[in-house]
């Protein structure tokens, strides 16, 4: 028993290492002169300096923030509406709503990508960051709505009844009681929507115009400008750091929710 | 901001006929119809159309030629077969790894369970593209692994297995997906009533028997959610094969991408898209029937 426990821990540790291995490699390479094995001139901040001097890279970061920001905003607002409607009200077609909602989760991105591409070009819309946002909202809505629906299901409705008994009307109750209590759920679904947009390559490949988002910038640089690949490792390391911050914020919010 | 008119509107809405609920979901419905239903219907129409080579206007409709392209071309069929096999392979390996980790977290760790799961998801937060970039540098003829082996003097020529090929695609997609699949499996493992496991052991079952007859069947809902999460995107994958797939790793998604972005053969591409959609929806339907909306919600 004791022996099998040890080997189990060993396998577990190995698998965890497998998960982090590529990111650790990127981090190490970003401080190296080349992207090849014998470390040369390690550590150097050369690539970080080049990264901050590259206007395309900086532009891509700004673009990604715009796209993910707008996507998050729309997806969360629609998620609150959808979650509330699904749990608290009855409406015509409510039986179809969950089915419709999971559609983007069960259709490969490439299909939505080519569909939107050919449709948008057909009706005369030019590809730009806006078309990327349109696509990202579509794929973010299911996640934001599902996480918020789960929160509405777990919401203690007697708190609202208490507010109404004390004379608050429905709208005030929603604004002063429901919304603040839902805040952790809203933040979590916002981070989720942000990440979905932030890390997407597949949809953006089809919908992006001339302004790249970060993943598209990495994709095209890899394919066309091998010379700039070391700069990508520096960019990646910063993105990993950002992801860790996001993950910890999400964790902190979840903890807060459990305390409630 | 003056909220009065909005407030009045909201309060006055009659609850009973369900108008309020309908109004709340209307934007979502509209978004889905305009950016999902209509574009996919458009693809369906295109797949039966013959397009003019220059103007890209529909010149004949309906024709079945576009669908015949796949069936009559052996190379395309081979790629479709490879794609489905690879998707199944990636599903088995990533769900398997995720299961092992989820099992370990559920039964061997007593504190900070969610924190561990969370930590494991960080790579996924950082973007799929970074994982691809890393493996692009690790693999390949002059990649880290090969240059390391050659540095040690074990071989003079790069080892093919660590180049860009189908194996690399499998490895990288497994690496990408398994951290994301731990949570749904963990949720269903955590829910299992521990007294059932004790009962099984008391009745003389070995721990392996307990696992096969009690634990595993009860965790199946979570496993199905995990399969859904990995299988569908892998079927349509095209980014990973184009970066680390080399020639042998080409997938069905790459064909579709080329038809739309390089060859501008939209109608043939549409027919291929419909084939892919059919496969993905069939798989999703079979899985979703055993999952349901509620479990999907918990798995996030």
Q: For A42-68, what is each residue's pLDDT tens digit?
A: 788 888 888 888 889 999 999 999 999
Query: Which residue in A106, A134, A195 is closest to B281 by CB distance?
Result: A106
Tell me if B33 is assigned to some domain. no
CB A64 within 8 A of CB A204: no
**Residue B1 falls inside a structural domain:** no
Residue B40 within any structural domain of the chain:
no
Q: What is the pTM of this model?
A: 0.88
Q: In the predicted model, is pLDDT for residue B80 greater than 80?
A: yes
Cβ contact, residue pair A110, B253, below 8 Å: yes
Query: Domain boundaries in chain A?
Result: 55-259
| B24–A38 CB contact, under 8 Å | no
Q: Which residues contact A94 (CB under 8 A, 6 or more apart)?
A: A85, A86, B18, B21, B25
The answer to whether residue B21 sits within a structural domain is no
Kindly state the tokens that stand for A212: 């790249």
Residues 123-182 of B with CB under 8 A from A: 123-131, 133-138, 142, 144, 147-148, 151, 175, 178-179
What average pLDDT score do residues A62-78 get?
A: 96
pLDDT band at residue B76 under the 50/70/90 scheme: very high
The CATH number assigned to the domain holding B91 equals: 1.10.3720.10
**Structural contact between residues A22 and B134, judged by C-beta atoms closer than 8 angstroms:** yes
Q: How confident is the model at residue B12 (pLDDT cuts 50, 70, 90)?
A: low
Q: Please name the residue of chain A whose CA is at the shortest distance from the CA of residue B266.
A: A118
ipTM attached to this prediction: 0.88
Residue range A190-217: mean pLDDT, rounded: 93
Candidate from B55-59, B96-100, B150-154, B238-242 with smallest mean pLDDT:
B55-59
Please tell me the distance from the alpha carbon of residue B266 to that of residue B49, in angstroms, as a whole number: 9
Q: Does domain A55-259 have CATH number 1.10.3720.10?
A: yes
Is B178 in contact with A19 (Cβ distance < 8 A)? yes
| Alpha helices in chain B, H assignment, sequence order | 4-12, 19-32, 38-47, 65-72, 74-108, 113-125, 128-138, 144-152, 166-191, 194-202, 207-210, 216-235, 239-244, 252-257, 266-291, 293-298
Chain A contact set for B121 (CB, 8 A): 247
- B128: confidence class by pLDDT, cuts 50, 70, 90: confident
**pLDDT digit string, tens, across residues A153-195:** 888 888 888 888 888 888 888 888 888 888 888 998 999 999 9
Q: Does B114 sit within 8 Å of A254, measured CB to CB?
A: yes
Q: Is residue B8 part of a domain?
A: no
Check whether B258 has a pLDDT greater than 60.
Answer: yes
Report in angstroms the alpha-carbon separations of B18 from A112, A174, B25, B249: 31, 18, 11, 52
pLDDT more than 90, % of chain B: 37
In a domain, residue B20? The reply is no
Alpha carbon distance B282, B30 (integer Å): 25
Between the alpha carbon of residue B85 and those of residues A88, A107, B68, B79, B235, the distances in Å are 44, 18, 22, 10, 9
Task: Count structural domains, chain B.
Answer: 1
Q: Taking CA atoms, what residue in A is nearest to B21? A: A85
Q: What is the pLDDT of residue B39?
A: 95
What number is the average pLDDT over the span B119-141? Answer: 84
Mean pLDDT of chain B: 85
Q: Which of A53-62, A223-232, B39-48, B109-118 has the lowest mean pLDDT?
A: B109-118
What pLDDT, on a 0 to 100 scale, did the predictor assign at position B10? Answer: 58
Q: How far away is chain B from the Cα of A149, in angstroms, using its nearest Cα?
A: 8
What rounded mean pLDDT belongs to chain A? 87
Q: For residue B102, how far is the Cα from the chain centroid?
A: 19
Percentage of chain B modeled with pLDDT above 70: 93
Q: Where in the sequence is the domain holding B231, given as residue range(s)?
A: 64-298
B296 vs A: CB within 8 A: yes
Residue A82 has its nearest CB partner, among B15, B25, B151, at B25
Q: Which token pair is A157?
A: 């409705």
Query: Nearest residue of B to residue A78 by CA position?
Result: B28
């Amino acid at each position: 028993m004791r022996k099998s426990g040890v080997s189990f821990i060993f396998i577990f540790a190995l698998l965890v290492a497998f998960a982090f291995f590529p990111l650790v490699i990127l981090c190490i390479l970003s401080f190296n002169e080349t992207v090849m094995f014998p470390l040369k001139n390690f550590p150097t901040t050369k690539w970080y300096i080049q990264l901050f001097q590259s206007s395309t890279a900086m532009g891509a970061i700004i673009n990604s923030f715009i796209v993910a920001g707008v996507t998050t905003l729309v997806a969360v607002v629609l998620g609150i509406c959808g979650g509330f409607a699904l749990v608290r009200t009855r409406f015509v077609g409510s039986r179809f709503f969950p089915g419709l909602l999971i559609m983007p989760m069960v259709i490969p991105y490439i299909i939505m990508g080519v569909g939107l591409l050919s449709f948008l070009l057909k009706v005369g819309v030019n590809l730009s960051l806006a078309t990327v946002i349109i696509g990202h909202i579509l794929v973010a809505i299911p996640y934001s709505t599902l996480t918020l629906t789960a929160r509405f299901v777990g919401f203690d409705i007697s708190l609202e009844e208490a507010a109404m008994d004390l004379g608050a009307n429905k709208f005030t109750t929603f604004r002063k009681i429901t919304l603040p209590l839902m805040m952790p759920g809203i933040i979590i679904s916002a981070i989720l929507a942000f990440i979905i947009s932030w890390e997407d390559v597949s949809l953006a490949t089809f919908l992006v115009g001339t302004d790249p988002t970060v993943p598209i910038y990495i994709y095209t640089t890899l394919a066309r400008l091998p010379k700039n690949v070391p700069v990508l490792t520096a960019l990646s390391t910063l993105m990993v750091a950002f992801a860790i911050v996001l993950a910890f914020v999400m964790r902190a919010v979840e903890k807060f929710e459990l305390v409630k | 901001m003056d909220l009065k008119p909005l407030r009045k509107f909201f309060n006055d809405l009659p609850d009973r006929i369900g108008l309020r609920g309908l109004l709340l979901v209307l934007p979502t419905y509209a978004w889905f119809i305009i950016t999902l239903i209509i574009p996919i219907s458009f693809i369906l129409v295109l797949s039966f159309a013959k397009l003019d080579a220059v103007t890209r206007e529909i010149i004949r409709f309906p024709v079945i030629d576009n669908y015949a392209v796949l069936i009559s071309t052996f190379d395309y069929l081979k790629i479709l077969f490879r794609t489905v096999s690879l998707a199944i392979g990636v599903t088995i390996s990533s769900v398997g790894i995720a299961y092992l980790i989820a099992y370990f977290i559920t039964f061997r760790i007593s504190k900070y369970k969610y924190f561990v799961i969370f930590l494991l998801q960080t790579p996924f937060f950082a973007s799929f593209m970074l994982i691809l970039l890393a493996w692009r540098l690790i693999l390949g003829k002059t990649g880290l692994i090969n240059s390391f082996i050659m540095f040690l003097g074990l071989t003079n020529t790069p080892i093919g297995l660590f180049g860009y090929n189908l194996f690399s695609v499998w490895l990288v997609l497994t690496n990408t997906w398994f951290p994301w699949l731990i949570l749904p499996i963990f949720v269903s493992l955590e829910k299992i009533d521990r007294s059932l496991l004790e009962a099984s052991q008391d009745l003389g079952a070995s721990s392996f028997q307990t696992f096969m007859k009690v634990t595993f069947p009860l965790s199946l809902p979570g496993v199905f959610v995990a399969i859904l999460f990995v299988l569908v995107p892998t079927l349509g994958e095209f980014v990973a094969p184009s970066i680390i797939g080399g020639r042998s790793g080409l997938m069905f998604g790459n064909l579709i991408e080329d038809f739309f972005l390089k060859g501008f053969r939209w109608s043939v591409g549409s027919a291929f898209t419909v084939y892919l959609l059919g496969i993905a929806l069939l798989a999703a339907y079979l899985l979703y029937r055993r999952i349901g909306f509620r479990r999907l919600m918990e798995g996030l």
